[in-house]
Amino acid sequence: MSSDTLNVYRDLGVKPVINAMGFMTVYGGSRPSPGVQAAMNHASRYFADMEDLLKKTGDIIADLLGGEAALVTPGCAAALALSSATCMAGDDPDKIQQLPDTTGMKNEIIIQKSQRYHYDRCITVFGAKMIEAGDEQTTAAQVESAINEKTAAIHYVAPGGGPGVVSLEEVIRIAHSHDVPVIVDAASQVYPLDQMRRYPEAGADMIGYGAKYFGACNSTGVLCGRKDLVDAAFVHSFIGYETQLSRSVGRPLKLDRQEIVAVVAALREWFSMDHAARIAEHGWKARAIQDALDGVPHITCQPVSDERTLGNGLVVNVDEEAVGKTASAVAAALLDGDPSIVLHGGNGSLHVAVSNLIEDDLQVVADRLREELTA
């Protein structure tokens, strides 16, 4: 680890962080590949007509995802917020200017009570009201009974499933029978690739993805779905404000040309890369840390993977009584170091996610873990 790379942050009075936690917004989200970084550097050489850039890149992204249309957004949260605004005001210039005052508009967005979550706040920022359907065991009948003349959309948190959650396909069937669109938060549903394409193929009307999960910038996302609605979201966006004088609430959601190019470059890489090789790389990184911890007493190590492959890595189980400290205390000590190491720690285990660890980080993480576990 060179002093130059560390000093980029230290010169600003900020401690550099080795990210063994995965794709966390609060730690910068992602590590764009050299190819994506090169595309961004090339994009900075010339300027571009941002309206044309957004439309052309939207066509490319829609084709990759299997949707009718797409739009690069500043994060998945912005995709959801623009979706909400669109479902309430459409492309009506008077209604667009009226937001976030939703008087006289369809302004209710239904969500299953069993799906309430931290980020549903994104749906309400432009004036929508969240309406809960059902209870902890929501039924299809309860979803349908929540629909009324004020319903603007139904919001669904992907992948869904689980007890008490009505399936996406059933929600879409119910919503469309009432001419109500469905908004899907598919932020991290980027792998397997068929899962990523599932939501447009199922007939969801507006789908938000977090582009950090497939290798673009932390600050970017994608809105994909029905063409008339995505086109209306374009009017609500910052570029609609600038080019169509829509005075929309989306003006603060501005993007850089380099970010837009990065999303397309990253998504093209994501759909063309050898994912088996990517997952195998996660495996050897986890084994490298495990091998380096060999012989540390009172711990056991277990490589882990998840279906989305975002949390692949190593779980270190800690006999907290024998070690004399909790897993949470070990994680806190790692976070307090310089460079800081951030990982999940608690309930007797430490989870080292390797997706954003470069090879130089592996030994540093292992050495610091060994030091804290044997101190």
By DSSP bridging, strand 129-133 and strand 69-73 are: unpaired
Shared domain check, 192 and 64: yes
What's the Cα-to-Cα distance from 35 to each of 42, 43, 58, 162, rounded to whole Å? 11, 12, 20, 38
CA distance 23 to 30: 6
Instruction: Please count the structural domains in the chain.
Output: 2
CA distance 100 to 92: 14
Output the pTM of the full model: 0.95
CB 276 within 8 A of CB 234: no
pLDDT tens per residue across span 3-34? 778 889 999 999 999 999 999 999 999 999 99
Shared domain check, 209 and 236: yes
Per the listing, tokens 């959650």 go with: 165
Shared domain check, 72 and 138: yes
Shared domain check, 188 and 259: yes
Shared domain check, 321 and 205: no
Last residue of a domain, one of 272, 301, 329: 272
CATH code of the domain covering residue 196:
3.40.640.10
The CA-based angle 313-352-312, given to 5 degrees, is: 25
pLDDT tens per residue across span 270-290? 999 999 999 999 999 999 999
Last residue of a domain, one of 236, 251, 272: 272
Shared domain check, 197 and 50: yes
The pLDDT of residue 2: 64
Shared domain check, 143 and 62: yes
Identify the sign of the CA torsion 55, 67, 186, 178.
positive
What's the Cα-to-Cα distance from 207 to each of 22, 92, 267, rounded to whole Å? 23, 21, 16
Ordered alpha helix ranges (H), the chain: 3-10, 34-45, 50-65, 76-89, 93-98, 121-124, 140-145, 168-177, 193-202, 227-236, 238-243, 257-272, 275-292, 320-323, 327-336, 359-374
Length of the chain: 375
Domain that holds residue 282: 3-29+274-374
Shared domain check, 211 and 106: yes
CATH code of the domain covering residue 331:
3.90.1150.180
Shared domain check, 72 and 122: yes
Shared domain check, 281 and 224: no
Shared domain check, 261 and 307: no
Last residue of a domain, one of 248, 272, 296: 272
Encode the chain (375 residues) as per-residue pLDDT tens digits: 567 788 899 999 999 999 999 999 999 999 999 999 999 999 999 999 999 999 999 999 999 999 999 999 999 999 999 999 999 999 999 999 999 999 999 999 999 999 999 999 999 999 999 999 999 899 999 999 999 999 999 999 999 988 899 999 999 999 999 999 999 999 999 999 999 999 999 999 999 999 999 999 999 999 999 999 999 999 999 999 999 878 999 999 999 999 999 999 999 999 999 999 999 999 999 999 999 999 999 999 999 999 999 999 999 999 999 999 999 999 999 999 999 999 999 999 999 999 999 999 999 999 999 999 998
CA distance 191 to 39: 23
Shared domain check, 42 and 188: yes
The DSSP annotation for 109-146 comes to: EEEEGGG--GGGHHHHTTS-EEEEES-TT--HHHHHHT
